[in-house]
Amino acid sequence: MNKYESVIIVNPNVDEAGLKALEEKFTGLINENGKVESVENMGKRKLAYEIKKLKEATYMLFNFEAKPEFIQELERIYRITDDIIKFIVVKKEN
């Protein structure tokens, strides 16, 4: 298993309960296929440029271990989740 870091940028209109639900959804999904090491809600921040006419968004950081085959599925689920504006998954050096 490899170590990964994933940042998702969430629509700023999502309330606290919605953010908690997203965190639980992805933590559960990752734990089924690997192991979550940490989740950090980095709060609302100003975006470097407008995305879908939004000037700010909420950032969430996931550190986890998973098999390489799982990353493609995780990114697919990020894409079809309406509240996620942008995301990135990066493999960490061991």
Residue 25 has phi, psi (to 5 degrees) of -60, -50
pLDDT digits (tens, 9 = 90+) for 36-89: 999 999 999 999 999 989 999 999 999 999 999 999 999 999 999 999 999 999
pLDDT digit string, tens, across residues 5-38: 999 999 999 999 999 999 999 999 999 989 999 9
* Residue 62, C-beta contacts closer than 8 angstroms, at least 6 positions apart: 5, 6, 7, 8, 26, 27, 30, 36, 38, 39
Strand, coil or helix: 32: helix
How high is the pLDDT of residue 93?
Answer: 84
The per-residue pLDDT for 94 is 66
Q: Which residue has the higher pLDDT, 94 or 35?
A: 35
Task: Enumerate residues 6+ apart whose C-beta is below 8 A from 73.
Answer: 33
Domains and CATH numbers, the chain: 2-91 (3.30.70.60)
